[in-house]
């Protein structure tokens, strides 16, 4: 049974794609696992521990390269996270807080909170302490680490992030190990199948490898059936011709050539008749 290994960045919610893939590929095993903060999904791809990855990157800074295919999928809006008694709480949740309104708010620097120090979860811990600081992060990250004592609001002037689908690119210039991983990934039909699911291809799209394979198999079956039918028809026609020939040859005077030969085979009797006729007239 074939298997597809997938990893995805923290906060990414790939549920709809995973469900669609499982529905359309019931015989395949899908191993999908979220990555902790600080784990580079490209390292998972490079090591062959994953075939495809859902990655996050700043808008306008795609990690696509000679080594990696990256398809942008959607944009994540940035939010400001603050304690419940902060001024941010009084802004409407559906509108963006103007950059000027938030200009004087004390912001935590993500660089001060690396994954080994707790990452985004620790930032929200500090925000909730009531010290007055706020944290800027993608909305999915705020939801991932949501707390009852912390609110979030959309904010303008901050760079959004993008979630994309990444997999290895085949490039002859790559080192042998990287090239091997890329070739294996691109030779795996499930990789292209999942790409098709994420891109919204229909299950019966001819661009899906499984559909192409099925169509080729069905076309081959149709060719074989057509050839078999034509062979049977040809055999039947040959049998009918032989039967007609045998029937025609076994009947006296049955062929036109036989009749002609018979008429030409009795000229002497006809001649004698004519002679007798003339002679008879003379005797009379």
Domain membership of residue 196 (yes or no) is yes
Residues 197 and 229 in one domain: no
Domain membership of residue 13 (yes or no) is yes
User: Do 113 and 137 meet the contact criterion of CB atoms below 8 Å apart?
Assistant: no
If you search the block for the tokens 């007609």, which residue do you land on? 244
Q: Which residues of the chain have pLDDT under 50?
A: 205-206, 208, 211-212, 215, 252-255, 257-265, 269-284
Q: pLDDT tens, 84-111?
A: 999 999 999 899 999 999 999 999 999 9
Residues 146 and 82 in one domain: yes
- The token pair at 240 is 């009918």
Residues 169 and 70 in one domain: yes
Domain membership of residue 259 (yes or no) is no
Domain membership of residue 19 (yes or no) is yes
CB atoms within 10 A of CB 138: 24
pLDDT the model gives residue 4: 95
User: Do 127 and 82 meet the contact criterion of CB atoms below 8 Å apart?
Assistant: yes
Residues 31 and 172 in one domain: yes
Residues 61 and 190 in one domain: yes
Domain membership of residue 85 (yes or no) is yes
Q: What is the pTM of this model?
A: 0.69
Q: pLDDT tens, 56-85?
A: 999 999 999 988 999 999 999 999 999 999
Residues 18 and 56 in one domain: yes
What is the spatial order of strands in the sheet that 68-76 belongs to?
29-34, 3-8, 52-58, 161-168, 68-76
Provide the strand spans (E) within 50-160.
52-58, 68-76, 78-83, 135-138, 150-154
Residues 103 and 236 in one domain: no
Domain membership of residue 277 (yes or no) is no
User: Do 201 and 207 meet the contact criterion of CB atoms below 8 Å apart?
Assistant: yes
Domain membership of residue 251 (yes or no) is no
Beta-carbon contacts of 173 under 8 Å, excluding residues fewer than 6 positions away, are 66
Beta-carbon contacts of 67 under 8 Å, excluding residues fewer than 6 positions away, are 168, 169, 171, 174, 178, 182
Q: Which domain holds residue 185?
A: 3-75+161-203
**Alpha-carbon span 20 to 25, nearest angstrom:** 8
**Alpha-carbon span 7 to 74, nearest angstrom:** 17
For the chain, the domain total comes to: 3
| DSSP-based three-state secondary structure for 53 | strand
Phi first, then psi: what are they for 175, rounded to 5°? -60, 160
Residue 40: exposure state from Cβ atoms within 10 A (0-12, 13-18, ≥19)? middle
Q: Which of 5, 35, 9 is nearest to 18 (CA)?
A: 5
Instruction: List residues bridging with 8 in a β-sheet.
Output: 34, 54
Domain membership of residue 226 (yes or no) is yes
Residues 19 and 66 in one domain: yes
User: Do 185 and 167 meet the contact criterion of CB atoms below 8 Å apart?
Assistant: yes
- The token pair at 201 is 């291809």
Residues 51 and 176 in one domain: yes
Task: Convert 183-217 to b/e letters by CB count within 10 Å (16 or more is b).
Answer: eebbebbbbbbbbbbbeebeeeeeebebbeeeeee
Residues 150 and 82 in one domain: yes
């Amino acid at each position: 049974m074939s298997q597809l290994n997938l990893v995805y960045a923290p906060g990414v919610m790939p549920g709809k794609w995973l469900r669609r893939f499982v529905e359309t590929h019931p015989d395949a095993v899908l191993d999908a696992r979220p990555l902790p903060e600080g784990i580079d999904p490209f390292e998972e791809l490079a090591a062959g521990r994953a075939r495809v990855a859902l990655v996050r990157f700043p808008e306008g800074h795609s990690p696509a390269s000679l080594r990696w295919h990256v398809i942008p999928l959607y944009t994540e809006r940035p939010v400001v996270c603050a304690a419940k008694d902060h001024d941010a709480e009084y802004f409407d949740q559906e509108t963006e807080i103007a950059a000027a309104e938030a200009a004087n708010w004390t912001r935590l620097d993500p660089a001060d909170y690396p994954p080994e120090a707790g990452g985004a979860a620790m930032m929200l811990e500090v925000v909730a302490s009531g010290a007055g600081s706020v944290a800027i992060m993608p909305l999915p990250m705020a939801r991932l680490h949501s707390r009852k004592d912390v609110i979030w609001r959309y904010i303008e002037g901050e760079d959004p992030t993008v979630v994309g689908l990444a997999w290895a690119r085949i490039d002859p210039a790559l080192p042998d190990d990287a090239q091997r991983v890329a070739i294996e990934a691109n030779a795996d039909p499930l990789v292209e199948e999942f790409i098709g699911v994420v891109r919204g291809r229909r299950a019966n799209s001819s661009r899906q490898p499984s559909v192409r394979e099925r169509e080729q198999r069905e076309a081959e079956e149709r060719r074989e059936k057509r050839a078999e039918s034509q062979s049977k028809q040809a055999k039947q026609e040959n049998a009918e011709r032989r039967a007609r020939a045998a029937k025609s040859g076994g009947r006296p005077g049955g062929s036109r050539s036989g009749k002609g030969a018979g008429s030409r085979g009795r000229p002497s009797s006809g001649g004698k008749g004519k002679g007798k006729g003339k002679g008879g007239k003379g005797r009379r």
